[in-house]
Amino acid sequence: MQISSRFTIAVHVLIAIETFGNQYKVTSEFLASSVNVNPTVIRRILQQLKKADIITVKRGSGGAAIGRPLADITLLDVYNAVEPVENGQLFHFHENPNELCPVGKNIHRIMDHRLEEIQNAMEDRMRRITIADVMADANKLIEK
């Protein structure tokens, strides 16, 4: 299992908006140059962040801005905005294990609670880290 790069791109975008928002008009093209991806990728992520009320975007080339205090945006908020998981389940279980096999018949009872525990631990940790925390680390490293 690997989480797609949308999550880390979204965090990158938020840090860039906060870092450069007072100096530049932060457009998808501007952000794409920082992330080094196609602006279309950035526009899609901006739409997802906007839908989650994490950012605001002015029509046309007005630019993006953070929509609420950084301390009120968690990594889990960002993750949920750009990496929506099907039915709230991070792990996708194979659909039809063989019911005639003793392992296949019991694999859900063997694994489901463990996978739920792992997902809960990840989400709990992400819930405790805010974009303000990430921005504090960024400020130590970024020369403005």
Strands (E), the chain: 55-58, 63-66
Domains, the chain, in order of start with CATH, read 6-141 (1.10.10.10)
Q: What is the pLDDT of residue 137?
A: 96
Q: Are 31 and 66 in contact (CB under 8 A)?
A: no
Report pLDDT for 62: 74
Residue with tokens 């007072």: 22
The pLDDT value recorded for residue 56 is 95
Residue 21: which of 62, 59, 60, 52 has the closest Cα?
62
User: How confident is the model at residue 144, as a pLDDT?
Assistant: 56
Show pLDDT as tens, one digit a residue, over the chain (144 residues). 567 899 999 999 999 999 999 899 999 999 999 999 999 999 999 999 999 999 999 877 678 999 999 999 999 999 999 987 777 778 877 888 999 999 999 999 999 999 999 999 999 999 999 999 999 999 999 875
Q: How far, in Å, CA of 57 to CA of 61, rounded?
A: 9
> Residue 65: what pLDDT?
95
